[in-house]
Amino acid sequence: MYNARGTSVTVKFAIADENPIFRRGLYAIIVDQLATNLSLHSLSFTLAGEADATSALVEMLAQETPDILLLGYNLRTSQGPHPACGMDGLALLKWITRQYPLLKVIMVSPYSNPQLIRTALKAGAHGYITRNVSEKRLIQALVTVAGGEMYIERSTMNAFFQSGKQSADELSPREMDVLRLLCRGLPLVAIARQMHLSIKTVSAHKLRAMEKLHVASDCHLYCLLTTTRMFDIAI
């Protein structure tokens, strides 16, 4: 990537994921690909920082805003004075894109559900890749987003476009976060505490989601989520 004068541009990126091995793996792949791929020699990517929890991410962004953030969907929440420390998933994504509008976020998620991808893009993500992304696709995502375009993995592209147009029955980001935390095995009280909402509000989000998914009981809800693999189910 070049600027108007034809000289190479350095792109600063950061990685936010609770798994240190995964963070190191992403960084090692990026360094290796930049060193061996001749077509990428004109690009310069440098690691601006890492974060293993939301509190560390908030602190890092306050000190220096990178050009691209690889954001783990299930980044560990943590205690801290800032409200964003208790956020994760789509709520954290929306906060980041509001506070740092020039920051390009690539969501790194274990889920390939088309509706979740669409919701993440609407929330401000510039890219969406799964945790089992190939080395080639990872670099392609970085280069594409650095160039100002959006990126979705080819493996999820067909399902994304075949899922149909957005309808009034599509789950809201809040409803999806409630369902994801339910799948983790959290009770409504814990979900309310983590999302900084009242139990009544969380319950309302759950009921609206069930109505949109056309399920009448918790058992039917878990069966549906297990079948569609929208989220991991805690056993």
Tens of pLDDT along 7-45? 567 899 999 999 999 999 999 998 888 777 756 656 788
The Cα-based distances of 194 to 62, 186, 191 in angstroms read 22, 10, 5
Among the listed residues 193, 188, 181, the one whose alpha carbon sits nearest the alpha carbon of residue 234: 181
Q: What are phi and psi of 8, to 5 degrees?
A: -70, 150
173-228 placed in CATH 3.40.50.720: no
CATH class of 10-162: alpha beta
Could you tell me if 176 and 119 are in contact, meaning their C-beta atoms sit under 8 angstroms apart?
A: yes
Task: Give the chain's residues under pLDDT 70.
Answer: 1-8, 38-42, 155-169, 220, 223-224, 226-235
Could you tell me if 117 and 126 are in contact, meaning their C-beta atoms sit under 8 angstroms apart?
A: no
Task: Give one DSSP letter per residue of 2-50, joined into a string.
Answer: B-TTS-B-EEEEEEE-S-HHHHHHHHHHHHHHHHH-GGGTT-EEEEEEE
**What are the residue boundaries of the structural domains of the chain, listed by start?**
10-162, 173-228
pLDDT of residue 24: 94
pLDDT of residue 204: 92
